[in-house]
Chain A
């Protein structure tokens, strides 16, 4: 087909297009993903039994994940479109990671040595490393549906941002189940779980985000 003919056929029937409000669809997808993650927590893991007595801890953990969401969301907003210029927005991510690791280190140093290991990894390998990414799967699916329509052009980076956002949203829901309230545990392993989601997203992004 000749290019002129193609242009002719593309420009034949031009309807007015309302430019989508910035990030609205992504926000909606995130809200849907959050609902899905909550459903997952309620029906698969169940809310923790002592919920009424530990709301402060639950909200603290949710707030930590929300902070992760706030630093990851601008990256997803930018990288899900062809406009590239997201490098400046990596700084808050590094900052949050460094601060939470620093807090974890300080808290661990102050705990007595005999309980230190238990405060850090609770019992054995932290379960949230596996559960948060699992909960993030439906969230990521909801986000993928929208992001593919927005034409990302840097698929690996967009996948990483998407994974990070999905992990943070899943973490918010997961805090309603998670029975461990140790600060060092949350600051280390929630962060690790979210970063793991980002890594998985980076690896899968180039296949899942193609359009």
Chain B
């Protein structure tokens, strides 16, 4: 909704120009003005204005939050790390207002700080700053990795990596179509989303499908495996001398203390410890041998 006046002006202006005035004049004039040292008439983009968190009781302003944590649980409050007067401030807030408004504020501030960071990098990259551009792609690659892996949960993680790379290439090659007065987060995620849908369309799959020949892996009998493990331990213990077997069984499997095990078996405490040590060594040797054979 907020673009409304801008677009109407554009539409009305350019469509009149298409009929009457040669429309190439306007951007050239703008460029000429910029060359002549006039300030850029483009307004400061919304995302670059500083965001001010205000405490509702004291009305103290905190400036631009670098990071906002918490705000999710009803009574937890949240913390805003702000930079003010060149110093880092950390403000902790306890709830005195309905938690959902704080939460919205906190989430909004967190999103805005990411947005501001990305926007800054993008603008510098568009101006030809290679380091900023690399940093932008780096940041986005981690974000997209999470984005895609969450949506392609089953299947090869290399698909997600392919999508990350495709999206990065798309963002790099289409960055001239980015309008710096618009939010960048929406722009990059719209491209990421498009790349994912394109991938689904290409491979005729959705995020939750698996090839039929791998379907057995989906239903691996893990519960049976865990009871098997207990049975395996029991059978392995039979290979041990009775002293070691009893010591391991009491201390490791039945969770008795060494002293309790000593009183119950009549062995000394150090005897128990040594038995456990040797028994476990022997058990691991047995397991290793079993793996090899």
* Chain A residues packing against B (C-beta within 8 Å): 1, 3, 6-8, 10-24, 27-28, 30-31, 34, 66, 69-70, 73-74, 77-78, 81-85, 88-89, 149-151, 153, 210
Q: How far is the CB of B172 from chain A (nearest CB, A)?
A: 5
Are B187 and A10 in touch, CB under 8 angstroms?
no
Describe B's contact surface by its main secondary structure: helix
Residue B51, interface by CB 8 Å: no
Provided the pairs A3-B164, A11-B134 are in contact, do residues A151 and B15 lie with their beta carbons within 8 angstroms? no
Residues of B within 8 A of A19 (CB): 126, 176, 178-180
Q: A83 near B187 (CB under 8 angstroms)?
A: yes
B8 to chain A, nearest CB (A): 8
CB pair A149 B168 closer than 8 Å: no
Bound-complex Cα distance A111 to B174 (A): 55
Given the complex of chains A and B, what is the CA–CA distance between A12 and B134 in angstroms? 8
Interface contacts beyond A3-B164, A17-B176, A149-B177: sample of 5 additional A-B pairs, CB < 8 Å, sorted by A: A10-B137, A11-B137, A17-B128, A21-B27, A83-B187
B221 part of interface (Cβ distance < 8 Å): no
Contact B127 A7 (CB under 8 A): no
The answer to whether B3 has its CB under 8 Å from any CB of chain A is yes
Task: Tell me the bound Cα distance from A192 to B49 in angstroms.
Answer: 46
6 contacts between A and B (CB under 8 A): A16-B128, A19-B180, A27-B17, A34-B18, A70-B15, A153-B193
Q: Is the CB of B175 within 8 A of A31?
A: no
Residue of B nearest to A66 (CB): B15
Q: A6-B168, A81-B177, A151-B170 are in contact. Are A23 and B191 (CB under 8 A)?
A: no
Q: Is the CB–CB distance between B130 and A31 below 8 Å?
A: no
Q: What is the size category of the interface that chain B forms with chain A?
A: 35 or more
A195 to chain B, nearest CB (A): 20
Q: Which residues of A contact B194 (CB under 8 A)?
A: 82, 151, 153
Report whether A1 and B133 are in contact in the complex, using a CB–CB cutoff of 8 Å: no
- Residues in B with CB closer than 8 Å to A18 are 176
Contact A83 B179 (CB under 8 A): yes
Judge whether B180 and A27 touch: CB under 8 Å.
no
9 cross-chain pairs, A with B, having the tightest CB-CB distances, nearest first: A16-B128, A82-B190, A11-B134, A153-B194, A14-B130, A151-B174, A7-B137, A153-B190, A21-B27
B165 touches A77 (CB 8 A): no
Option from B1, B11, B26, B183 in Cβ contact (under 8 Å) with A83: B183
Contact of A27 among B23, B172, B175 (CB under 8 A): B23
Please give the residue numbers on chain B whose beta carbons come within 8 Å of chain A beta carbons, in ascending order. 1, 3-4, 7-8, 10-12, 14-15, 17-18, 23, 26-27, 30, 125-131, 133-134, 137-138, 141, 161, 164-165, 168-170, 172, 174-180, 182-183, 186-188, 190-191, 193-194, 198
Other-chain contact of B141, A3, A73, A85, A150 (Cβ < 8 Å): A3
In contact, B18 and A27 (Cβ under 8 angstroms): yes
Which residue of chain A has its CB nearest to the CB of B2? A85
Chain A residues positioned under 8 Å from B176 (CB to CB): 17-20
Which residue of B is nearest A15, CB measured? B128
Q: Which residues of A contact B191 (CB under 8 A)?
A: 82, 151, 153
Shortest distance from the beta carbon of A207 to any chain B beta carbon, whole Å? 10
Contact A3 B165 (CB under 8 A): yes
**A88 in contact with B4 (CB, 8 Å):** yes
A73 partner residues in chain B, CB cutoff 8 A: 11, 15
Interfacial chain A residues near B14, Cβ < 8 Å: 23, 27
Contact between B133 and A11 (Cβ–Cβ < 8 Å)?
Answer: yes
Contact in complex: A11, B15 (CB < 8 Å): no
Residues of B within 8 A of A1 (CB): 165
